[in-house]
Structure 1
Amino acid sequence: MPRRHVWRAVVSFAAAAGIAAAGSLLAAAPALAAEPATAGRYVALGDSYTAGPLVPIQTGRPAGCLRSTNNYPALVARALAVATVSDVSCSGATTANLGGPQPTGLGTNAPQLDALGPDVSLVTLGIGGNDIGFVSIITDCATRSPLHPTGAACRDHFTAADGTDELAARIDATAPKIAAALADIEERAPDAHVLVVGYPALLPDTGPGCFPVVPFSPGDVAYLRGVEKELNAMLAAQAAAAGADYVDTYTPGVGHDMCAPQGTRWIEGLVPTSPAAPVHPNAAGMRGMADAVLGALSPQAQSAA
């Protein structure tokens, strides 16, 4: 895309300054501040996996969006020394809230796409989970699965008598909404480098999970793992079709799922042990996602434009 070379140059400078690991992002920001902020404006769009609910420190308006000063957009902006960042992500957002307002109970978030403009050089979009019913899926599965620990009650609940999978159908129905959002981004910010950010690994990539700590039976762990991979595959396909780049946060998140030990996990369980919303990234998860975004911008991660 037209401005990709700008971001590659900035990230190359970051690498030369020693920015290789996510944990070094904040410490390295002063060194990067000397680089002229030629990359323009960065706009972050998305749902709670972008906003960072309950990850310290919560900030922004409306308060109901539960944005963190240490979510991945904030970490990326600091690492790149971006001149201006507009983080309009909001917990609970669906694709409908990209083009329409979102009431939160603590104020209304304006349509996220309104933050775009011709001066925008970088856009990250992390959305789609709420379109398929993230909260209801977790609630249903956490309720049903423990009643049949040797079965797959959650999978059975979402599978029709004819074998049709309801969640697969929801993912298919969300695909054109992602496509429409990407087309709108292209129209409003034609010179922007657009990154579609996927979802990190919520459950172990192999094996039965960690029942009853995370109350999903082995069968349902396998099912839900497949659903998340299917969602991410759809996001990657829509990004490719639109000429955007996809950021894989699932692969680097393997081994950091909600079954991993405290201090290793990026995703908190249904009862968090670190500041974060249940089944959401903690501060370490946000650092890992920021690192994936920076990796997608690096010249080593992409062929030259």
Structure 2
Amino acid sequence: MSVRRFWASASTLILAATAALGLAQPASATSAAAGGYVALGDSYSSGVGAGSYLSDSGDCRRSTNAYPYLWAAANSPSSFTFVACSGATTSSVASTQLSALSASTALVSVTAGGNDVGFADVMQDCVLSGESACLAAVDTAVGKMNSSLPSGLSSLYSSIHSKAPQAHVVVLGYPRFYKISGSCIAGLSEAERSAINNASDVMNGVIAKQAADAGFTFSSVVDEFTGHELCSGDPWLHSVSIPVYNSYHPKAEGQSGGYLPAFRSVA
């Protein structure tokens, strides 16, 4: 996902203390390793922004620093299929990635939803077009979150269950982008940053509800990224960057310190 087609983030604290302390992983990690792991989703799962991209992944930009790759390296599942792809929507995950699933798949991870509501365009408007246009674009995206996104997520989750009926499915959310009243002295206004954060909360709430309705496990990353947002002084997210596709995506530290613990705690 790039600044033109990027997802790009209420939230539920799930065993964060265990993850933060690096304690023993759940026993289910053993069964998942025995049955195989498939990583689905968009650029937040493929690892755009984290560097070290697999040579055969092309524009999907699947990174060896992404949380699925890191989890697989640590747990040695019987099989690991990494099909998450930059720019993916709920419908494109369903149409192009689910062939990786089977009745023997034991563990699935997925991030999806940001591209469905046009958050790439939101961030472009916010960066280039001023506060009024930014706030209007955020409102439009929130409207999509509440109207069309639930059905897209529901359809995707139903298809995942049909393809991998025995799998433990972990749905991960998105981080808040900004620390409010943080260290940034230029760029977006506080009103814009607050609106974007609030939209992330709405997004995560919609995703969490649809995941629960499907019988899947939702894991928030908001707590893991708290203190590491943009304007925090120690951000795990890229701001506007070159190459542009890195913009508003997790750095390698965001994958290893944010997404991996959130996934590992419930995998």
CA distance in 1, matches of 2:209, 2:36: 26
CA shift digits 1:199-251 (9 cap, x unpaired): 122111x4367241xx2111111111100110011010111111100011012
1:154 matched residue in structure 2: 134
Alignment pair present for 1:117 and 2:102? yes
Per the alignment, do residues 193 and 118 of structure 1 end up closer, same or farther by CA in structure 2, a change over 3 Å counting?
Answer: same
State the one-letter code of the partner of 2:68.
P
- The structure with the largest strand share of the pair is 1
TM-score between the two structures when normalised by the length of structure 1: 0.73
1:199 matched residue in structure 2: 174
State the one-letter code of the partner of 1:142.
V
Shift in Å, 1:77: 1.2
Q: Secondary structure at the match of 1:178?
A: helix
The match for 1:166 among 130, 140, 143 is 140
Shift in Å, 1:64: 1.1
CA shift digits 1:99-119 (9 cap, x unpaired): 33xxxxxxxxxx111111011
Shift in Å, 1:80: 2.0
State the one-letter code of the partner of 1:117.
S
Per the alignment, do residues 113 and 219 of structure 1 end up closer, same or farther by CA in structure 2, a change over 3 Å counting?
Answer: same
CA distance in 2, matches of 1:200, 1:216: 18
The match for 1:51 among 11, 35, 46 is 46
Alignment pair present for 1:284 and 2:253? yes
Preserved CA contact (<8 Å) 1:43 1:86: yes
Q: Secondary structure at the match of 2:77?
A: coil
CA distance in 1, matches of 2:119, 2:211: 21
Shift in Å, 1:81: 2.0
CA distance in 2, matches of 1:38, 1:125: 17
Per the alignment, do residues 37 and 183 of structure 1 end up closer, same or farther by CA in structure 2, a change over 3 Å counting?
Answer: closer
State the one-letter code of the partner of 2:110.
L
1:184 matched residue in structure 2: 159
Shift in Å, 1:167: 1.6
1:268 matched residue in structure 2: 238
Correspondences of 1:132-147 after superposition (within 5 Å): 132-145=117-130
Alignment pair present for 1:74 and 2:69? yes
CA RMSD in angstroms comes to 2.7
CA shift digits 1:70-128 (9 cap, x unpaired): 1010111122221211110000111121233xxxxxxxxxx111111011000011011
Per the alignment, do residues 136 and 77 of structure 1 end up closer, same or farther by CA in structure 2, a change over 3 Å counting?
Answer: same
Per the alignment, do residues 60 and 41 of structure 1 end up closer, same or farther by CA in structure 2, a change over 3 Å counting?
Answer: farther
Q: Secondary structure at the match of 1:238?
A: helix
Shift in Å, 1:134: 1.8
1:11 matched residue in structure 2: none
CA shift digits 1:14-54 (9 cap, x unpaired): x9xx99549xx9xxxxxxxxx79853110111111111124
CA distance in 1, matches of 2:32, 2:40: 21
1:235 matched residue in structure 2: 207
The match for 1:131 among 102, 116, 119 is 116
Per the alignment, do residues 60 and 192 of structure 1 end up closer, same or farther by CA in structure 2, a change over 3 Å counting?
Answer: farther
Preserved CA contact (<8 Å) 1:199 1:250: yes
Which sections of structure 2, spanning at least 5 residues, go unmatched?
A: 1-17
1:4 matched residue in structure 2: none
| Pair member with larger Rg | 1
